Amino acid sequence: MKKTWIVGTRGSKLALRQTQIVIAALRDANPDHEFATKIIKTTGDTVWDKPLALIGGKGLFVKEIEEALVSGDIDMAVHSMKDLPADLEAGLVIGAAMVREDPRDAFISARHHSVSELSRGSRVGTGSLRRKAQIQRYREGIDIVPLRGNVDTRIRKMATENLDGIILAAAGIRRLGLEAVITEIIPTDIMVPAAGQGTIAIEIRLDDDAAELLREVNHERTFKEAAIERAIQAAVGGGCHVPLGINARIEEGRIDLSLSLGNEEGAILIHETLSAKPGAEQTLITEASNILLKHFQKG
């Protein structure tokens, strides 16, 4: 009899779509095994009227799922990598990362062709301190309207809240087949994505048999990029409470790392790109962490 592996996930459309992607890849790589989905409601799924920074941060989308993984109720968990805190629950590890979708942010608007057209007083919806700080750096005088909810809800609120536009992760929009609503993919020199954005992570128990199943589905370059981003995030302690963007891109012969850091008032303290050669990841992580930590102290 085939063993059935239980895969835990949130119940949103995007979370379920991402879980479908993971299970399809696992089935192809492991035809002698079965995989089943178990939906787990997280605290973050029950509170939609407050910013994440005020109710505990991104860990609210994974806490209950990690508890189920530790207890053995599920065998692995599917997350948006950017939702995972830098420090995982004891005994858990990221076992694999699926090939990365576009990590950049997307601007959606029925009134403008790009963020460059936004003017003083324009109303832009986002629940992210990172996006708020960076869009206000690029276009002064923007009025930020707090916005949470699933992708469909936020797109709908663009009309009901009389917004000039909203900013969402491009990856989620594309995975849901909603590419047509994207007005502009925002370049990283304007808006640096969150650490892990665009990446689906599969979390497992340390030294568990599930690790062997994930070998064929892990995308090595994506895994390395996310590892760089998360190492820097862990070093500086950045989460939903800090406007922090970290994006690593590994190309043939080089690693480019974009950084953006703001303070609690939303002012940008640093917005720049570093580079290194493959093999110098730890040096790059140390350099970036030191730069960010100095600005944390100044901020």
CATH classification of the domain holding 148: 3.40.190.10
What pLDDT score does 268 carry? 87
Examine the pLDDT at 185 and tell me if it is beyond 80: yes
Query: Considering the domain boundaries, does residue 138 fall inside one?
Result: yes
Examine the pLDDT at 240 and tell me if it is beyond 90: no
Same domain? 90 vs 202: yes
130, 154, 185 — which closes off a domain? 185
User: How many domains does the structure of the chain reveal?
Assistant: 2
Same domain? 80 vs 201: yes
Same domain? 282 vs 214: yes
Bridge partners of residue 256, in order along the sequence: 249, 275
Same domain? 23 vs 59: yes
Q: Which residue has the tokens 């917005």?
A: 271
What pLDDT score does 299 carry? 47
Q: What are phi and psi of 88, to 5 degrees?
A: -80, 165
Average pLDDT over residues 164-186: 97
Bridge partners of residue 124, in order along the sequence: 144, 165
Same domain? 155 vs 218: no
Same domain? 49 vs 68: yes
What pLDDT score does 296 carry? 67
83 is catalytic: yes
What pLDDT score does 58 carry? 53
Lowest-confidence pick of 38-52, 74-88, 169-183: 38-52
Q: Which domain holds residue 88?
A: 3-101+195-298
What pLDDT score does 149 carry? 84
3-state secondary structure of 275: strand
Query: Considering the domain boundaries, does residue 190 fall inside one?
Result: no
Same domain? 205 vs 291: yes
Same domain? 133 vs 235: no
Which residues in 137-169 are b (16+ Cβ under 10 Å) and which e? bbbeebebbebbebbeebbebbeeeebbbbbbb
138, 166, 185 — which closes off a domain? 185
Query: pLDDT of 95-112, one tens digit each?
Result: 999 999 999 999 999 999
Same domain? 84 vs 169: no
Residue in 83, 105, 164, 208 annotated catalytic: 83
185, 203, 218 — which closes off a domain? 185
Model pTM? Answer: 0.92
Average pLDDT over residues 118-137: 94
Same domain? 96 vs 115: no
What pLDDT score does 150 carry? 85
Residues composing the chain: 299
Q: Which residue has the tokens 């707090």?
A: 146
Same domain? 90 vs 222: yes
Q: What is the number of alpha carbons within 13 Å of residue 218 lying toward its C-beta?
A: 17
239 is written with which tokens?
């989460």
Same domain? 34 vs 82: yes
Q: What are phi and psi of 90, to 5 degrees?
A: -55, 135
Average pLDDT over residues 138-148: 92
| Whether the Cβ atoms of residue 230 and residue 237 lie closer than 8 Å to each other | no
Examine the pLDDT at 271 and tell me if it is beyond 80: yes
Q: Which helix (H) or strand (E) holds 26?
A: helix 13-29
What pLDDT score does 95 carry? 98
